[in-house]
Structure 1
Amino acid sequence: MAIEWKGVMPAVTTKFTSEDKLDLSTFELNIKAQLNAGVHGIVLGGTLGEASTLSDEEKRELTRTTVQIVDSKVPVLINVAEQTTKNAVLAAQKAEEDGAKGLMMLPPMRYKADGRETVEYFKTVANNTSLPIMVYNNPVDYGIEVTLDMFDELLKCKNIEAVKESTRDISNVTRIKNQFGDRLKIMTGVDTLALESLLMGADGWIAGLVCAFPRETVAIYELQKAGKIKEALEIYRWFLPLLELDINSKLVQNIKLAEVATGIGTENVRAPRLPLVGEERERVLSIIEKGLQNRPTLPNYKSL
């Protein structure tokens, strides 16, 4: 399955039992809710997926399980976030063996690689897998920016196809389009800039709050795509206080609380993360409760 870099692709949370094991039953419940809403792909093992706490075998189990659940309806991607080039290559090859159809790749972790090192890292992985790659460009959180000049070199690898654009600079969408046209597909990666990025030409949305609100997220995408901007804006304005839960150091706990509220998740996180408590918890619950009270009636967005 070739990947069409478009639409909404949830960066799904990883579900855990109270005994800190993978909760594949609740995970399947959430994945099916995403599919029923009409998402265009599934992204595993990102920040929201608590990737840094997962063992290699858990990542592989999640990949294989998700591939079975989606049954070729949409592509399954897994995040590669490694400290060494060697391990990144191995992760890519394991993902391919387990049935993933694409990779989301971060620059090297921990070590702040320079531009030459970062380009070589991505190219080495690309040259050792047949899977299509989406480069995750998030200098705000990870300290390394993949510049347009670096993409000039990276795009010599045919399977580097897309960027998860998380620089927080909306004009970067236009810069990428001006320089690369359709050669580099753009998936916006910041929930609070999603509609703005789509309207500026981004091809799709790697989303966070979609984990709890899949139908609303897909509706925004489909409405704007159909030119129904006013209708998309109405939902997006309702959604924004919830979307802001994604741009927070406790985004995993925030979004898992939202999943509980919408009946498609649990609050369990893996240590060192802990569930929210006290005033912080009450503040997040208040935002979620207000969102649910004012939840919009959606149009039949699937028929647009």
Structure 2
Amino acid sequence: MSALSVPVHAVFHSNGWLHGMIADLPTPFHSDGRIDLLTFARLCERQVCAGASAIVIGATAGEGDTLSDVERTTLIRTAVGVARNRLRVIVGAGSNCTAQAIEWTRMAQSTGAAAAISVVPYYNRPTADGIAAHFHAILGATTLPIILHDAPSRCARDLTDDVIIDLAASPRVIGLRDDTDNALRLSRLRSLLPSEFRFLAGHDATALSYLLAGGDGVISALVNVAPKLCRGMYDAARKGYPRYATTISDMLMPLADILSSAQVSSVIKYAMSLRGLGNADVRLPRTPLDETWQRRVETALAAIWASPDEVRSRAI
């Protein structure tokens, strides 16, 4: 078996790679709705060049809920092919249907992903026991490492500490994407979980506070727009330079706040389109930003690079 044919999760044994600013990559579309694979490959390579440890595809920013199985498989294969073991590919494989989550995790497993990120079942409001059983069923039916995703604002249910501790007893549960904005949870759970377990912030607006509290990284939409700045903030926070990290965070915060207030895919795609990184097309039920939100994004980008007029007039 050649090196390129070995599944990534079979090559990298440790969880040590799961850290840093990890892009929640958008899925670019042509104006007719087809996936723009050339731009997608370019976005993957851009994160490689920025020194990222991993990327997430087909998740929140990637509009994974709108992708067909064929599209999902194509994206994974493209990302793995571009990465060539230079970074790890994490695939959004969560669903509120346990059987569907298992199927998507198997798909990620068979196409060379390093891990799957699996969200708490949404809409059907399961009990804590139901949530635990959902994840145990995925673990029992697959072999891929799993990153838990706790997003109570989207799912109407959260992962309790007891469920996280129970699931983390499996060596294949390697981390948590935490969208609760509660850095205290990190310090509360750190000593109760395996040393290899990784804590990742899920929101850009709370990224710095999470990192300064000891978080291992951030699954970030903003890093798609400003990868070097985001990595600089991460490095400064982790190496004990909070004032420098705060200076960078203050530059990024206007856009991070917009990402918290509006649809992530619509915001990040519009921001990236202004930098010449694809267009702003999204799939229904998501809609493009209206003019008011576009002006807000332009002003936020101006806090990083240029004046609003310059942001509008050219790809930065």
Give the TM-score taking structure 2 as reference length.
0.89
**SS of the residue 2:190 aligns to:** helix
Question: Residues 64-83 of structure 1: matches in 2 within 5 Å?
Answer: 64-83=77-96
- Structure 2 counterpart of 1:213, from 215, 226, 237: 226
Cα distance 1:265–1:218, how it changes in 2: closer, same or farther (>3 A)?
Answer: farther
Within 2, Cα distance between the matches of 1:158 and 1:165?
19
Question: Alpha-carbon deviation of 1:77?
Answer: 0.7
Deviation, 1:157, is: 2.0
Task: Find the partner of 1:240 among 244, 253, 260.
Answer: 253
Which one of 267, 273, 284 corresponds to residue 280 of structure 2?
267
Question: Are the counterparts in 1 of residues 26 and 265 from structure 2 also a CA contact under 8 Å?
Answer: yes
Residue aligning to 2:61? 48
Match of 1:302 in 2: none
Deviations 1:27-52 (A, max 9, x none): 11211111111111010111110111
Q: How big is the shift at 1:167?
A: 0.9
Structure 2 gaps, min length 5: 1-11, 308-316
Q: Which has the higher contact order (CA 8 A, sep 6+)?
A: 1
User: What do you get for the CA RMSD once the two structures are aligned?
Assistant: 1.7
Task: State how 1:173-184 maps to structure 2 within 5 Å.
Answer: 173-180=186-193, 182-184=195-197
1:91 to 73, 90, 104: 104
Whole-Å Cα distance in 2 between the matches of residues 181 and 99 of structure 1?
A: 26
**For residue 71 of structure 1, what is the amino acid of its counterpart?**
R
The answer to whether residue 50 in structure 2 is matched with residue 14 in structure 1 is no
Match of 1:141 in 2: 154
Map residues 1-304 of structure 1 onto 2, 5 A cutoff: 1-2=12-13, 3=15, 4-180=17-193, 182-293=195-306
Preserved CA contact (<8 Å) 2:123 2:156: no
Runs of 4+ in 1 over 3 A off after TM superposition: none
C-alpha separation between the residues in 2 aligned to 1:46 and 1:109? 14
* Secondary structure at 2:182 match in 1: coil
Instruction: Work out the percentage of aligned pairs sharing the same amino acid.
Output: 26
Cα distance per residue 1:159-217 (max 9 Å; x no partner): 01110111111211111213225243101111111111111111111111111111111
Cα distance in 2 between the residues matched to 1:24 and 1:222: 31
Aligned residues: 295
Shift of 1:290: 3.6
Quick one: distance in 2 between partners of 1:274 and 1:138? 22
Q: Distance in 1 between matches of 2:237 and 2:289?
A: 35
1:77 counterpart SS class: strand
What TM-score do you get using the length of structure 1 for normalisation?
0.92
Q: Contact (CA 8 Å) 1:30, 1:265: kept in 2 or not?
A: no
For 2:232 and 2:244, locate their aligned partners in 1 and report how far apart those are by CA, in whole Å. 9
Query: Alignment partner of 1:127: what SS?
Result: helix
- Superposition deviation, residue 228 in structure 1: 2.4
> Residue 312 of structure 2 aligns with which residue?
none
